[in-house]
């Protein structure tokens, strides 16, 4: 390829560095992974190398495609690979790279310290020391054999395993100087930035889930437990926004609070793993600059006074709490607004209006005893066409208005009422459904209010709801 301006020089650098990258991945495979089963267990191999073979395959194919085409086709190939072929393997690899790096650190750098700490141990401890020494020797032999490969050139395994993480971050930098060649290179640059952003988002979500899992295993619940890993009541992923907020309760006892996307959790300041009371729902929390206050429907008002945080400036932690609380509450109310949706425009093809009134329930399926609470039902009322696709959906809560007026397309359509238990700290639990054909009411109830009837729910062992239907043609 002839080298002219800055853009073409940037393309040459992209190709040169891509060759180097693929060569180094090949070294990892030939020097280390190919012989790993001689020294490492299957679990250790998966932890250390992850899906590095997938990275090698996709980048080898990319390099081959770039080397076999002219300059004009390169940006289209890059954009295709970055948007359609590289997202999943790079996201998976980068998510698990931190674990691999930690494993190397513990087993190579910290292993001598572990061994030294056992010098004065008892007989049982000496056996543990021997086991650690054997494991250390096994891993040392593995590393030594890998580094003897001529392609390593003095680089250690950690440096090689870092290459994919660095590579995905470097693509936007390499492509930045190509945009003066043609408009297509602008699209390639955008694709590289999108790839990097997508991978970074996946890593952040993975690390968040890891923190939640760690905390979920650590906490000791007394009479109430929230599964921290499940989604929130609005179907969003839960995140730990601000951990370790050092506080005092209303009588001066130390408390450590954790602010999540949908609630605040208090733990004993002397025993940080013991949960105190029930969580505080995010929509019922106020913050006045120094105090977090909960105005719940039961138990009166509760207050936590933020005190000194040994790991952060006191004023900074208050600002973090304020901003995180505002963000979480905004997300919560935005999620509530999205519960009433129209999935498809039916204007111009409306047969009439079906009014649905939900007025009560009886003998609903009892939840598992671990929840230790009475169900709080709400319903989704949906219009479904002959293909089974919903084109209108309205949420009717257990309070306020329980009437929905739905535009329907024709007698072949159906009204589906789905009943859920509205849990405060987890996804709603399905409690049954009732299906009603609109055609049943066209001839009998046009312009006439329907009577309230008790209908049995489908999909659950037991349960009924009280509901009325009426139809008015348009």
Q: What is the pLDDT of residues 138-157, one digit of tens each?
A: 777 777 777 777 778 777 88
pLDDT top residue among 425 and 108: 425
76 pLDDT above the threshold of 90: yes
Where residue 168 falls among pLDDT bands split at 50, 70, 90?
very high
pLDDT tens by residue, 362-411: 877 765 544 556 777 888 888 888 777 777 788 887 766 688 888 887 77
Percent with pLDDT over 70 in the chain: 82
- The two three-digit tokens of residue 337, written as one number: 């607004």
pLDDT top residue among 168 and 251: 168
348 pLDDT above the threshold of 60: no
DSSP characters over 177-215: GGTTT-HHHHHHHHHHHHHHHHHHHHHHHHHHHHHHHHH
Mean pLDDT of the chain: 80
Where residue 124 falls among pLDDT bands split at 50, 70, 90?
very low
Q: Which strand (E) or helix (H) includes residue 372?
A: none
Q: How much is the pLDDT for 341?
A: 47
129 pLDDT above the threshold of 50: no
Q: How much is the pLDDT for 2?
A: 42
> Between the ranges 23-27, 60-64, 354-358, where is the mean pLDDT highest?
60-64
Where residue 338 falls among pLDDT bands split at 50, 70, 90?
low
Quote the CA–CA distance of 114 and 37 in Å, as a whole number: 25
* pTM for this prediction: 0.64
173 pLDDT above the threshold of 50: yes
Q: Are 282 and 425 in contact (CB under 8 A)?
A: no
55 pLDDT above the threshold of 80: yes
Q: How much is the pLDDT for 122?
A: 38
Other CB atoms closer than 10 Å to residue 344's CB: what's the count? 11
pLDDT tens by residue, 278-335: 888 888 899 988 899 987 655 557 889 998 776 667 788 888 899 999 998 888 887 7
Q: Which domains does the chain have, with CATH numbers?
A: 6-210 (1.20.900.10), 240-337 (2.30.29.30), 352-473 (2.60.40.150)
Quote the CA–CA distance of 359 and 373 in Å, as a whole number: 21
126 pLDDT above the threshold of 50: no
Q: Which strand (E) or helix (H) includes residue 145?
A: helix 123-147
- The two three-digit tokens of residue 361, written as one number: 């329930």
Number of H helices, E strands in the chain: 11, 15
pLDDT top residue among 213 and 7: 213
Q: Are 421 and 429 in contact (CB under 8 A)?
A: yes
224 pLDDT above the threshold of 80: no
Q: How much is the pLDDT for 125?
A: 41
- The stretch 424-440 carries a mean pLDDT of 82
Q: How much is the pLDDT for 336?
A: 67
119 pLDDT above the threshold of 60: no
Q: How much is the pLDDT for 64?
A: 96
């Amino acid at each position: 390829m002839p080298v002219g301006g800055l853009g073409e020089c940037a393309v040459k650098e992209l190709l040169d560095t891509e060759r180097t990258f693929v060569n180094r991945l090949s070294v990892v495979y030939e020097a280390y992974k190919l012989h790993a089963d001689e020294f490492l267990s299957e679990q250790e191999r998966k932890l250390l190398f992850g899906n590095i073979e997938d990275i090698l395959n996709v980048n080898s194919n990319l390099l081959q495609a770039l080397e076999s085409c002219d300059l004009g086709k390169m940006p289209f190939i890059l954009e295709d690979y970055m948007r359609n072929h590289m997202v999943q393997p790079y996201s998976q690899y980068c998510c698990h790279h931190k674990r691999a790096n930690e494993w190397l650190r513990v087993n190579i750098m910290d292993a001598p310290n572990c061994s030294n700490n056992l010098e004065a141990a008892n007989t049982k401890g000496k056996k543990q020391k021997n086991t650690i020494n054997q494991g250390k020797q096994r891993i040392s032999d593995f590393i030594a054999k890998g580094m003897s490969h001529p392609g390593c050139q003095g680089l250690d395994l950690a440096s090689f395993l870092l290459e994919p993480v660095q590579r995905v971050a470097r693509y936007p930098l390499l492509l930045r100087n190509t945009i003066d060649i043609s408009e297509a290179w602008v699209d390639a640059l955008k694709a590289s930035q999108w790839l990097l952003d997508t991978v970074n988002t996946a890593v952040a979500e993975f690390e968040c889930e890891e923190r939640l899992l760690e905390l979920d295993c650590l906490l000791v619940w007394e009479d109430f437990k929230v599964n921290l890993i499940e989604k929130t009541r609005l179907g969003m992923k839960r995140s730990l926004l601000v951990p370790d907020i050092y506080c005092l309760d209303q009588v001066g006892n130390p408390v450590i609070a954790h602010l999540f996307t949908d609630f605040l959790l208090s733990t004993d300041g002397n025993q940080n793993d013991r949960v105190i009371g029930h969580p505080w729902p995010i929509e019922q929390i106020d913050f006045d600059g120094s105090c977090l206050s909960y105005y719940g429907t039961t138990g009166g008002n509760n207050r936590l006074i933020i005190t000194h945080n040994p790991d952060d400036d006191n004023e900074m932690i208050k600002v973090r709490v304020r901003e995180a609380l505002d963000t979480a509450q905004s997300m919560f109310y935005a999620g509530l607004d999205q519960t009433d949706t129209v999935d498809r425009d039916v204007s111009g093809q409306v047969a009439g209006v079906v009014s649905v009134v939900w007025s009560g329930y009886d003998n609903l399926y009892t939840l598992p005893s671990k929840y230790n609470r009475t169900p709080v039902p709400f319903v989704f009322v949906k219009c479904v066409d002959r293909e089974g696709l919903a084109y209108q959906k309205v949420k009717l809560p257990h309070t306020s208005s329980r009437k929905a007026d739905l535009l329907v397309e024709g007698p072949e359509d159906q009204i589906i009422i789905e009943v859920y238990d509205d849990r405060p700290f987890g996804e709603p639990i399905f409690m049954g459904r009732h299906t009603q054909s609109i055609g049943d009411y066209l001839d009998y109830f046009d312009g006439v209010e329907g009577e309230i009837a008790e209908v049995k729910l489908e999909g659950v062992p037991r349960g009924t709801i009280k509901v009325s239907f009426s139809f008015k043609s348009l």
